[in-house]
Amino acid sequence: MPDANGLVETLKKSSLEAVEAAKPVHVYFGEVVSAAPLKINVEQKMILGEMQLILSRNVTDFQTTVTVGWQTEKELGAHSHTVKGNDHAGDSLDLVTGEKNLAHTHNITGEKQITVHNGLAAGDAVLLIRQQGGQKFVVLDRIGT
């Protein structure tokens, strides 16, 4: 005949597993303690290291292709050059060019590859989800300001 206490414990365990199964993920809040190596303090209870973290693209540096229609800003205004020294015959040189306006722009158009610098930094507040029954946490995004 089964032990009544054992039966009660089995029922409790089954009930807890059923409740847990109804919540497939847990949401946590954390703060990045350090970026290299990556460490995140989760709800001031535990520190997670790189091996426990899965990073979404929202919290990593990544490259992507964009289509642009830009124009550079004007950089060079009017200026002149002074040349001093000696020529190949040893004669002294002291030349000043006339003032020229070299201001210009360039068009940048088409598909271009860019790097988005989105990596985590110490102090970033983050939103994480824990895999059900696992020790891995997905870092979804930054939160706050």
- Report helix, strand or coil for 7: helix
Report the predicted TM-score, pTM, of the whole model to 2 decimal places: 0.61
Residue 69: other Cβ atoms inside 10 A:
8
Hey, what are 87's tokens?
């020529």
User: Given a cut of 80, is residue 23 above it in pLDDT?
Assistant: no
Compute the radius of gyration of the chain from its Cα atoms: 31
Q: Where are the domains of the chain?
A: 23-61+117-145, 65-112
Question: According to the model, what pLDDT value does residue 54 have?
Answer: 93
| pLDDT one-digit tens code per residue, 48-78 | 999 999 999 999 999 999 999 988 887 776 7
Beta strands (DSSP E) in 1-145 are 26-35, 38-42, 46-49, 53-55, 62-71, 78-79, 82-86, 92-96, 100-101, 107-116, 125-130, 137-142
The candidate with the shortest Cα–Cα distance to 100, out of 76, 72, 73, 75, is: 76
Question: According to the model, what pLDDT value does residue 15 have?
Answer: 74
The CATH number assigned to the domain with range 23-61+117-145 reads 2.40.50.140
| pLDDT one-digit tens code per residue, 5-15 | 777 777 777 77
